Structure 1
């Protein structure tokens, strides 16, 4: 399943996509000991961080062999490709035991790794947060997908297989220090504070030209990333609701028809 390699972008053919899976993960409230360290907690306030995790894989074509048939990249990114380094300190990817050094630690964004191999397997992803965010890590699981759903069709070196899941990490009762630090960060959903609440002065956003960029907007594979939005979710829910209502109406018509037939049979027997 193994052997390492770096990733690169390919052509513009439509990728083999797997339907998005949406989650909302709520992290535990901070313990009393944390309150002493990070001062005042904000009651009835939540900060959410939309993330996407998954993989993109390319078939190697003529370069493929028994042990290396695909080049793939597994990653955790911001749902709008913003820098997650403001919240996530490091990510640990646990690969199959057949890989050299299967525990891969990524200390800075973008949180991703690339490999070559031939087999599909489950990858455990552990996210560790900065000390003022949360002291408990978050465990995610992603099944590496290399082959398209339609296995009978021809494989292409330019058409990747893309599998992504959407999640919102929710931090209840954040510290004032955390909120002050991230209130100007576009990667997070920061609520309005209750009337009368006063925060420390906002921390200035670091000049992007003075640091390594951690967003994935210019990622070489960003053309394959799927789009996730609340509007899309609402449209999907509305479409699903219409489908369910149509099925209910159809079943009611069928039941009504069956009831009518049964009544006719009863009337026929009575007439005899």
Structure 2
């Protein structure tokens, strides 16, 4: 049975004024079964899902005195791990489709970090297509992101030091992974894997490559990392717990009976 890939998404737009607009969406697509997979004897893990939290977005800076009619902003569009981990373990390449007015508007990035930088003057929608390694999925995932150059309060002054940031969070979910795939990614910090029953006999875990021996693909030391937004699941759970506690306390407030008065009448 072929496994499925789907994405859970919510996004935040952080302008120069710090306002945010939440979004929600769910996309799903199936993995086709090719001849190689049919011939493969590699077992799939039934009722098991692995997920990869990602963030995609843009960060744009106003050029100030250097701005011209056709180059008022410099910006970067990217796909990164939600905790800035290397996504190369799952993503093979990313294709960014820019506005047709750009030279070579179809930009292909073959290795992490999956990003590109440009300059311009107008906002437009960027199509982002992610391609995965063959043992994960042979279908691509299409994402769409609106490049934002100007803060929400357009009457306010623009800043050359503080960018306009717009990011969206996705969880890419792969269901029924093969045993070899599970073994390959189970120790990788970018991938969330479930705890399997003790009777599962998986291949030995694949050791992680020595990051000192190759170029790091994570974005922890990225020049824009100070502007990246935090999509920590732990923070969200803490906020939900605080909200539940507040609701519980409101329900437990004592009810005053001082205005009830005495009940008239007698029982004989």
Structure 1 residues without counterparts, runs of 5 or longer: 1-13, 246-272
Shift of 1:233: 2.7
1:68-87 → structure 2 map (5 Å cutoff): 68-87=71-90
Structure richer in helix, relative to its length: 1
Of residues 200, 203, 210 in structure 2, which corresponds to 1:200?
203
Residue 63 (1) aligns with residue 66 (2): yes
Of residues 134, 139, 156 in structure 2, which corresponds to 1:131?
134
CA distance in 2, matches of 1:224, 1:194: 40
**Cα deviation code 1:38-61 (max 9, x no counterpart):** 721110100000000000000000
Matched residue SS, 1:48? strand
Of residues 24, 34, 43 in structure 1, which corresponds to 2:46?
43
User: Over aligned residues, Cα RMSD in angstroms?
Assistant: 2.5
CA distance in 1, matches of 2:244, 2:123: 34
Q: Name the CA shift for 1:162/1:119 in 2 (closer, same or farther; >3 Å).
A: same
CA contact (8 A) 1:58 1:157 kept: yes
Structure 2 residues without counterparts, runs of 5 or longer: 1-14, 249-268
Of residues 149, 153, 159 in structure 1, which corresponds to 2:152?
149
CA contact (8 A) 1:96 1:123 kept: yes
Shift of 1:244: 10
Q: Name the CA shift for 1:145/1:121 in 2 (closer, same or farther; >3 Å).
A: same
1:82-93 → structure 2 map (5 Å cutoff): 82-93=85-96
Of residues 30, 38, 51 in structure 2, which corresponds to 1:28?
30
CA distance in 2, matches of 1:27, 1:165: 19
Aligned length, in residue pairs: 233
CA distance in 1, matches of 2:50, 2:38: 17
CA contact (8 A) 1:25 1:170 kept: no
1:1-272 → structure 2 map (5 Å cutoff): 15-17=16-18, 18-19=20-21, 21=23, 25-28=27-30, 31=33, 33=35, 34-37=37-40, 39-235=42-238, 237=240
Matched residue SS, 1:179? helix
TM-score (norm 1): 0.79
Shift of 1:212: 1.0
CA distance in 1, matches of 2:63, 2:17: 15
CA contact (8 A) 2:17 2:153 kept: no
CA distance in 1, matches of 2:41, 2:32: 10
CA contact (8 A) 1:132 1:178 kept: yes
TM-score (norm 2): 0.80
Matched residue SS, 1:77? strand
**Cα deviation code 1:168-207 (max 9, x no counterpart):** 0000000111111111100010111133111111111111
Q: Name the CA shift for 1:238/1:30 in 2 (closer, same or farther; >3 Å).
A: farther
